[in-house]
Amino acid sequence: MFSEAVNHYQAGRLDAARVVCKSILAQQAEHAHALHLTGVIAMQQGDLNEAERLIRRALQASPAEVGFLNTLGSLLRRQGRMHEARVCFEQYLELVPKDAEVTCNLANLLKSEGELEQAARLYRQVLTWNPQHLNARLSLAYLLRRQGALSESEICFREGLSQGAMMPQFIFGLGLVLAGQQRHEEAEQCFRQLLCIEPMNADANFHLGNALHVRGLISEAEHHHRRCLELNPDYPEAWNNLGNDLRDQGRLDEARYAYRKALHLKPDYMRAHSNLLFSMLYDMADSQAVYEEHLQWDNMHAAGFQALYKGGSHDAGPERKIRIGYMSPDFREHSVAYFIEPILVAHDHSCFEIYCFSDVSRPDAVTARLKGYTDKWLDISTCSDEAVAETVRQEGIDILVDLAGHTSHHRLMVFARKPAPVQVTYIGYPASTGMTAMDYRLTDEWADPIGQERCHSEKLLRLPGGFLCYTPSADAPQPAPLPYAKNGHISFGCFNHLSKVTPEVVEVWSQVLQQLPGSHLVLKHISLQDAKVRERYLQMFEENGVAGDRINILDWSASVGEHLSCYSQVDIALDTFPYNGTTTTCEALWMGVPVVCLKGKTHAGRVGLSLLESAGRQEWIAGNKQEYISLALQLAADPEKLIELRARLRQALAASSLCDRSATTHALEDVYRSIWPEFCESEA
C-alpha cells in the first residue's frame, strides 16, 4: 500500500497519495513512512502546522530515519524558525557528515540569515565532494555576487556553464555579474542567449534593456523593457527603467507616466519617486507643483526616520575643529568631481577635518586623487543606509554634506536618519530636496536670489562670488582654431543631456538657424547613438523648418580628452532651458567657445547665469527667448571676435572667480563656521 502511495505522490496525485496513507495509518498508526509522506503532502499543500505534527510523529516512530530530520528542518525554515531548522540540519550532518543535499540546505539557511562566509564554506565543501553538484555551484556563484566578489562569481558561473547543465540559471547569473563589472556588451550577449532559450523570460528582457540603455541603445532598451512589461505588467523596476529610457529620449511626459506606474505598484519605491522628481525639473512648468512633489517624497519615504534616529554626542564648542563629511556616489570621473575637487584641495585642515563617504562601486583614477585630499576616506558602496548613518554618528561628523540630491544612486535615506547635527545639500541637484531632515542648501545670489526661498524646505546659504568652482580636466586639449574659418559657416553646438533638449528648446534653436542661413547645429549625447532617437530629433527640427542636413550629430567619446576635442567643431555654444547646463557650460568656455544662456526663474534655469556671472561674461546672458536669439546672432555676426575669444577665453576663465578654488573654499568654510555656532547655541 505504501508503494502505491509513493507512486501516486511521484505522479503528482497528492490527494490520492494522502488517501492511501490514511488507510495505512488506520491499520498501523505509527507507520513512520506513511506519517512522513502525509506530512510532506501537507507541507506542499500549505498546511504547515499539520505537516510539523506529522513529521515529528514520524521521527518519534522511527528516530533512526535521519532523512526525516532534513524534512523537518526544511519545514521549520519555511516557517521562519531558523534556529530550530539549523539544529535539525546540524543533527542530521552529525550522523551523515558528507550529505551534499543537507549541507546545501544548511548553507541556504545560513545565507538567508546573512552568515555569508559560513554559507560559502559549506558550498565549497560540497563541491570538494562532488564538483558536478550544480546547485551548490549556482548558489555559491550568486552568493559571491552578493558579497561583491564579482571576478570569483564570474568564474563560478562559467564553471557551471562548462558542465553543460542548468544553462538558463547560469547564463542569467553570468549576465548579472558582467553587468556589475560594467562589461555591458558581454552582459547583453548573455541575456540575448537566454532569450533564445526562454523567449518569455521577463527578467532576461529587463536586464537586457538595462545593458542596452547603458550603451546608449535607448530605443532598443525601451523595446525590451516594454516586452518585459507585456510578460509581467506588475514589474515596478521595469516601469522605472522604462521611464529612464523615455527620459533620455526627451519624452518627458511618457517618462513621468512610467515612474508613476512604478510608484503605483510599489508605493515605497523611493528611487522611482526620485527619478520622477528629477524628470520634473527638465521642463518645470509649475515650480510650486514640483516643490510639493518633493515634499510628498519626504512624507512617503523619509520623514518617519527622524523620530527613530538622533545625532550622536558632539562637543558643541564653537571654536574647535569642525568635522565635515561629504557624501556622494560621484567621487569618480563624473561632473560632480569637477566641482568638489577644488574644494577638497583647498580646505584648511587646521580648522576642519575632512571626511568623504564614497558610494563608488568601481573607483577610478579620479577616486584615488580625491582620496588623497581627505583626512579620512570611507567606502560605503556595500553598506546599507542604516549602517552608513551609524558610521556617520560613530565618526562624530558635525556637518554632513550631500552632493547628489535626487540624482542616481543618492543616499538621501542616510540623511533622513539625521546622523549628523547639521545637514547640508550642495552641488549635485538643482532644487530643494524637500526633506525636513536637510537643514541647509548651498547656493548663491544669482542662482537663488533673495526672495525666492518659497520653494525650499532647507534654509538657503548664499556663497559670495558664486556657489560653484570649476576645475578643468587635465586631459583637456588646447582650444582648436575657430571652425568657421574652415567651414565657411557658423556652427552652433550643444553637448547637454538630451532630456534638456525639449521641444521648446528645439523651437528656439530652429529660429536661430533660420535667421542665419547656412549655419549648422552640432549635437552630442550618448542617446544620439541610437538611430531612432536621432531620427526623432531630426524630425523635430524639420517640423520647425530646419533641414536635417544642417544638424550634425557627433559620435560618443571614449575619453574626456576626446570629448573636449569635439568643441573644435563648435563656434558658439547654445545652452538649454529651463534646465541649464553646468559642466557643459564650463567645458565650452574652457575650450574657447562662448555660451549663450537664457536666464530662468528657478535654480535649474539660473545655473548658467551663475556660471557666466562668475566667469565675468554677463554679456552672454539673455533675459528672454528673443534676447537669446539676438545674442546668438550677434556673436555669429563677428567671426573676428570669435577668433579673439578662442585665443584668450581659457586664460580669462582661469583667472575668474569661477576657477578660484581658494576664494570659493574660504567662503564655504566661513559658511560652515557661521552655521556651527547656531547648533552649539541650540545645544546649550
pLDDT per position as a tens digit, 284-334:
778 899 999 999 999 999 988 876 656 555 666 667 899 999 999 999 999
Q: How far apart are CA 142 and CA 172, in angstroms?
A: 10
- Pick the closest to residue 259 from 273, 249, 245 (CA basis): 273
Taking the whole predicted model, whether its pTM rises above 0.85 is answered as yes
Q: What does the domain layout of the chain look like in residue ranges?
A: 200-280, 306-462, 483-659
CA 254, CA 247: separation in Å to the nearest integer? 8
pLDDT in tens, 181-229: 999 999 999 999 999 999 999 999 999 999 999 999 999 999 999 999 9
Phi, psi of 522 (to 5 degrees): -105, 125
* Inter-CA distances, 329 with 336, 345, 367, Å: 9, 19, 11
pLDDT at 394 over 90: yes
Can you read off the three cell numbers belonging to residue 229? 512589461
Task: Give CA–CA dist 405/432, Å, rounded.
Answer: 8
What does the pLDDT read at residue 313?
58
Residue 70: pLDDT band with limits 50, 70, 90? confident
In angstroms, the CA 614 to CA 27 distance is 94
Residue 663 burial class via C-beta count within 10 angstroms: exposed 0-12, middle 13-18, buried 19 and up: middle
Q: Is residue 137 within a helix (H) or strand (E), and if so which, with residue range? A: helix 134-147
Domain 483-659: what homologous superfamily?
Glycogen Phosphorylase B; (3.40.50.2000)
**477-535 pLDDT, tens digit each:** 999 999 999 999 999 999 999 999 999 999 999 999 999 999 999 999 999 999 999 99
The confidence score (pLDDT) of residue 66 equals 85
Average pLDDT, the chain: 94
The answer to whether the 200-280 and 306-462 domains have the same CATH topology is no
Tell me 300's DSSP state: I
Confidence class of residue 273 from pLDDT cuts 50, 70 and 90? very high
Lowest-pLDDT choice from 92-106, 361-375, 536-550 = 92-106
Please enumerate in sequence order all residues whose Cβ is within 8 A of that of 549, keeping only pairs 6 or more positions apart, or say none: none
Yes or no: say if 259 and 244 are a contact pair by the CB < 8 Å rule. Answer: no
Average pLDDT over residues 588-613: 97
**For domain 200-280, which CATH number applies: 1.25.40.10, 1.10.3720.10, 3.30.70.100, 1.10.8.60?**
1.25.40.10
What pLDDT, on a 0 to 100 scale, did the predictor assign at position 483?
A: 98
Top CATH class of 306-462 equals alpha beta
